[in-house]
Amino acid sequence: MSLPQSLERIVEKFKRASSNKLRYEQLLGYAKKLPDFPESEKKEENQVYGCQSQVYITASLNDGKVFYQGDSDAQLVKGLVALLIQGLNGLTPLEIAQVTPDFLQETGLTVSLTPSRANGFYNIFQLMKTKAHSFTSES
C-alpha cells in the first residue's frame, strides 16, 4: 500500500534532513503549528493511553473525510501528533485504515526516539485509526 500524498510529502521532508538534530527541529516546527486544542475536549475518551505525556486526540467526519485535532504537554510528542494530523487529515476512514505505522521508519525519526516515545507514537496512531474506524460503523 502506498502512502497518502500528504504523508508521503512529510516522509520526504524528513528524509531530506541531514541529521537527527534537523529532524527534531522539523518535529518541533510541526508542534508549533498545531492549532490550540479546546480545554473542553481534554477528557478521558480523547486521551491516548500508554504515553508518558498527556496526549489528546479528537476526530470529526465532514463530507466523508476525517479531521483530527490533538495536543500533548510534551513538545516532541506534540510534533508527532501534528505530523500525524497533517498526514491523515482529509482522508476517508477507509484510506486511514490502510495506512500502517511503518512510514515512521522512513522518516528517520525512530533512530532517535526513545522506546517510550516510539511506543507513544504507535498508541497515538492506533487511537486515530480507531476514531476513524468508528465513523464506518456509524454509517
Could you list the active site residues? 51
Nearest CA among 133, 116, 132 for reference residue 50: 116
Helix (H) or strand (E) holding 69: strand 65-72
In terms of phi and psi (left: phi > 0; alpha: psi -120 to 50; beta: otherwise), the region of 64 is left
Q: What is the rounded CA–CA span in Å between residue 91 and residue 88? A: 6
Set of cell numbers at residue 98: 490502510
CB-based contact 69:55 (threshold 8 Å): no
DSSP string covering 25-55: HHHHHHHHHSPPPPGGG-SGGGBPTT-SS-E
- 3-state DSSP assignment of residue 27: helix
